[in-house]
Amino acid sequence: MVRATASAQEPIPCIDFVAEDLPYPFSLPHLDFYRRCQEALLRAERWLPLPRSHVERRALKQLAKVFAQFDELPRLAWVVPKLQSGWQAFSELRDILRLTDAELPRGDLRYLSTREFPELEMARLGEIEKTTKAYHQQLRKRVTDSHSPSRAEAVILRYLDRYAKQLFGYPATYDDDGNIVSVVERTNNVAEHFFGADKQKLRRRLGRANLGRDLEDQPAQAVLASNLLHNDYVGVLCGSLEHLPAAFAELGQETRGDVSPLQRSNRETSLLKRIGALIADEHPAQNNGIIDRQIRQPDAVVTEI
């Protein structure tokens, strides 16, 4: 098919066949693939000029035979309209709430332009609140007046009835002159982004897929180390990056007892100690070496930072 279309004189328009790397339900790659398959035969016939060669006619026939298999699947006729209806309702709600791809779990926070301007962000949140209230009333009227309302719209209406009052009312910090200094984020994506990146780094260091125990036992100092990427934190800590080695050297010379150790204790440490004590009472001579190894082994594990 590629060879056949390559001989066409008409330029081929650029089509993006790669779905965005977004999680469900923010992208539906299978539905997009089905739509492209429905348009592929028409586009191929438009690209190939007349008269067509035997190779081109055979390629179009083979392509039509492949796409005809979609019509033989009865489930597609039922699931495609359902997915399209749900996607339209979901996209409409995202537009009302002004949720961009930058606010997604794997979005780029750099594209949130109003985060650096608290007054503009507060005004934007006020406009979103007014638009959402109008959409809520419109959606209620749409679902009530319709004889067969969309299931997706009914679900959205139910959630808006339950949580609409909790979507807004973001607190802000003001200075002495009454100017807005900062506004609370309306999502927890900042914390989720940080947690996901920290989890990825820990997986690369340890080489394990299951990090539940490592995250539980990881000390707080490992998380605080990421603050060194921020200039304001470094300025408060030691003035500048040039003074950072000297600050760490001073910490190494000091002996502070209030700092938590970087060792992590195994969940079975206390149990192994009790079992070791019971065994030692019964056979003190034979089990001294075994008991020492059982007690020292979990305590010797050090979390990598």
65 φ/ψ angles, rounded to the nearest 5 degrees: -65, -40
pLDDT in tens, 155-211: 999 999 998 888 887 788 888 888 888 888 777 777 777 888 888 888 888 888 788
Q: What is the pTM (predicted TM-score) of this model?
A: 0.55
Residue with tokens 């019971």: 278
**CA pair distance 294, 193, nearest whole angstrom:** 39
DSSP 111: G
Domain residue limits, the chain: 2-72, 108-187, 262-305
pLDDT in tens, 9-47: 444 444 444 444 566 667 788 888 888 888 888 888 888
Supply the angle between the helices 231-238 and 244-253 in degrees, to the nearest 10.
Answer: 50
Residues 6+ apart with CB under 8 A from 226: 194, 198
Element (H, E) at 279: helix 269-282
DSSP 304: -
End-to-end CA distance of the chain: 54
Check: CB of residue 190 under 8 Å from CB of residue 105.
no
Structure tokens at 195: 């947690």
